[in-house]
Amino acid sequence: MMRDTGKHDAVVVFGAFDRHNLGDLLFPHVVAKLLACDDVIFAGLAERDLRVHGGHAVQALAQLASERGKDRVHIVHAGGEILTCGDWEAAVMLLPWDQAQKVIARLETHNDERRAWARALTGLDALAPYMTSREMFPCASSVTYQAAGGVDVERLDPGMRAEVLSKLAQADDVSVRDIHTQNGLAAAGILARLVPDPAVMVTELFGTNIRACKERSGVADLQRAFPEGYVAVQFSADFGDEGTLDVLARELDRVSNESGLGIVFFRAGAAPWHDDMACYERIAARMKVSRTQLFRSLEIWDICALIADATAYAGSSLHGRIVALAFGLPRVNFFHPARANDTTKQSAFAATWEPACVPGSVGIEALSQAMLHALTIDRTLLRRTATHLAARYREGFAQTRAAMCCA
């Protein structure tokens, strides 16, 4: 029980766990487990119930502010790339796929109408809606940011950038998950601590339960289908053009042929602009090897079990990578050709926290070479990295708790 934060002070854990995405749905589990507080409220931009996928019942922030905005509550931003998630992007990702496609077709090029639509959906007049402010909760006991991401913070338009910096300046404690974000904020006068992403804690906090769900999740069937092991593979829908799929199919064929491993495709996120099972069906049809399967469960503990029992992970998801890291597995991220010259959240995280011998984020044409190299890395080193980052997260979270107690 977190008695020292105030006997009657509830904790509002806020983030993008109002939509389906592996990392975002894991964050509140990690934060709530470490808080060990009886009165925790989970909040997002919209009221949603993601418990069917292993998530939480989430309250809408605007409604929560109207009901409890003058209460003494602790606001904990639980993590994720929230510093650069704009109102339009955030609102669209709250919709089912079919509705999102219609809204995008209607409003994508109409900035003013997009803003009005996003405000109406979320009830918030904010350019960076996954960041709260003292104006919304004027009596808040503390406002903290835990391992937030924002690799593109220096590239934000002036209005959104000013809002982001203002909200961070009002906070009692700020930590970020990569050095690129830390440096970008420091250049703007915001000092932030460096703390690994919350998902590095999944093995330490939930590993026993994750490994226990092999039969229910279908992972045990995969182990029987691929006795030599398998690579858990994921990529977002923007990789779905014909040329990109051709390259990925060729690269994964080589990985499977040279390693003897199966290829299992899974979705790390089902919200708009995340992963599309149709892309996996198309790439599987292109591949020459027969050692492929599609894993269809969207339950986050099933997904974690799939990764935990894999031989390795390859994909575009940062949190697919971090779950693999937490279980001491070889991993490789790959980026879309359009982002070849960008610093991404995947490359920034790997550069900040991982040994130089572990591949970070590579172009799709280099996937097989990077994956085959990753499979040769000493597993003791990988397990040691996982243990080290979990310890670093605990240290960082302890400082967040101290800030809550002293605010």
pLDDT at 8: 56
**What value does the CA radius of gyration of the chain take, rounded to a whole number of Å?**
21
Per-residue pLDDT tens digits for 183-194: 999 999 999 999
Does residue 378 surpass a pLDDT of 60?
Answer: yes
Per-residue pLDDT tens digits for 326-335: 999 999 999 9
Mean pLDDT of the 258-272 span: 97
* Burial of 248 per CB tally in 10 Å (0-12, 13-18, 19+): buried
Does residue 404 surpass a pLDDT of 90?
Answer: no
Task: Check if the beta carbon of residue 353 is closer than 8 Å to that of residue 376.
Answer: no
Mean pLDDT of the 283-306 span: 96
Report how far apart, in Å, the C-alpha atoms of 75 and of each of 67, 142, 204, 262, 375 are: 15, 6, 25, 44, 41
Mean pLDDT of the 12-27 span: 97
C-alpha span between 197 and 219 (Å, rounded): 26
CB atoms within 10 A of CB 151: 23
- Cβ-based neighbours of 111, under 8 Å, separated by 6 or more: none
Does residue 23 surpass a pLDDT of 60?
Answer: yes
Does residue 143 surpass a pLDDT of 50?
Answer: yes
Task: Identify the band that residue 3 occupies on the pLDDT scale cut at 50, 70 and 90.
Answer: very low
Report how far apart, in Å, the C-alpha atoms of 69 and of each of 121, 286, 319 are: 20, 54, 32
Does residue 31 surpass a pLDDT of 90?
Answer: yes
Mean pLDDT of the 26-51 span: 95
CB atoms within 10 A of CB 47: 15
Mean pLDDT of the 258-278 span: 96
Q: Which of 245, 232, 296 is nearest to 270 (CA)?
A: 296
Task: Check if the beta carbon of residue 194 is closer than 8 Å to that of residue 182.
Answer: yes
Task: Identify the band that residue 407 occupies on the pLDDT scale cut at 50, 70 and 90.
Answer: low
Task: Identify the band that residue 98 occupies on the pLDDT scale cut at 50, 70 and 90.
Answer: very high
* Burial of 227 per CB tally in 10 Å (0-12, 13-18, 19+): exposed
What is the per-residue DSSP string for 25-94?
Answer: HHHHHHHHHHH--S-EEEEESS-EE-GGGT--EEEEHHHHHHHHTTS-EEEEE--BSGGG--HHHHHHTT
Give percent above pLDDT 70 in the chain.
Answer: 98
Least confident among 34-38, 126-130, 393-397? 34-38
Task: Check if the beta carbon of residue 286 is closer than 8 Å to that of residue 245.
Answer: yes
Per-residue pLDDT tens digits for 317-367: 999 999 999 999 999 999 998 888 889 999 999 999 999 999 999 999 999
Mean pLDDT of the 117-146 span: 95
Superfamily the domain 201-388 falls into: Glycogen Phosphorylase B; (3.40.50.2000)
pLDDT at 1: 35
Task: Identify the band that residue 111 occupies on the pLDDT scale cut at 50, 70 and 90.
Answer: confident
pLDDT at 6: 42
pLDDT at 403: 82
Task: Identify the band that residue 292 occupies on the pLDDT scale cut at 50, 70 and 90.
Answer: very high
Task: Check if the beta carbon of residue 167 is closer than 8 Å to that of residue 131.
Answer: yes
Per-residue pLDDT tens digits for 182-225: 999 999 999 999 999 999 999 999 999 999 887 888 899 999 99
The overall average pLDDT reported for the chain is 94
C-alpha span between 146 and 168 (Å, rounded): 12
| Domain map (residue ranges) of the chain | 3-195, 201-388
Identify the sign of the CA torsion 249, 250, 253, 258: negative
